[in-house]
Structure 1
């Protein structure tokens, strides 16, 4: 059965690009959200194998999203891969403390991003 992945990003172009790549190259089913709030709602109503999440979003950033996700027993164990343009050493420490599955730097390579996600999540292709 195909993996089901939620993509959360406020930039439509990135959301659409990731959706196409994950579906066309990896064969995954995708669910999309344009905000953290919408993404959290979808975690409650969708059956998900993982989440790819932009860190820098208005209203609720990726860190706040992960904190809320992990505070709910039903969603606490969904692995999260973060997309971020800037990663500082203190961010990396915070990611480790929050049990983030992995981080992919923006800009990412559209040809290999699905393979990076699969490797982080240890999904064989």
Structure 2
């Protein structure tokens, strides 16, 4: 069942260029969402200084700043603390609902993912979190 969500702006943080390309294409083409992609958590924090997406898709395994540190910094700022975050990671099945809540993350989507189903998965997570 397709969940209808108004146009979204999405920030994807993933060090894998092919994942960034696939996610951007499917969310832009299939859902009509505006997608910004960055390769690192630090690049995301820099971008978030002036922009505020409706949702952040975050890979857990990245070089440099880890996802937990990124989430701590994101939640420490009054400008970004309420932005919903969804993990997009091969480790998605490792996280219980309690662990996701402790991280202030609304859901985890497993890699590999179905690009056609991804917009609905994000929309459903956003709907459940409201």
Q: Mark yes or no: TM-score above 0.5.
A: yes
User: Matches of 1:44 and 1:76 in 2, distance apart?
Assistant: 12
Aligned to 2:3: none
Aligned to 2:109: 104
**Pairs aligned (count):** 122
Pick the aligned partner of 1:42 from 40, 47, 57. Answer: 47
User: Matches of 2:89 and 2:127 in 1, distance apart?
Assistant: 20
User: Matches of 1:88 and 1:18 in 2, distance apart?
Assistant: 20
Aligned to 2:12: 7
User: Matches of 2:93 and 2:116 in 1, distance apart?
Assistant: 25
User: Matches of 1:69 and 1:102 in 2, distance apart?
Assistant: 16
Give 5+ residue unaligned stretches, structure 1: none
Q: Deviations over 1:33-76 (max 9, x none)?
A: 11010011111211311101111101112221111100111100
Task: Describe how 1:53-92 pairs up with structure 2 within 5 A.
Answer: 53-87=58-92, 91-92=95-96
1:18 aligns with 2:33: no
User: Matches of 2:66 and 2:119 in 1, distance apart?
Assistant: 23
Aligned to 2:119: 114
Structure 1 ranges of 4+ moved more than 3 A: none
Q: Deviations over 1:79-125 (max 9, x none)?
A: 00001112465x434322122111001111111011101110119xx
Using the size of structure 2 for normalisation, the TM-score is 0.86
Using the size of structure 1 for normalisation, the TM-score is 0.89
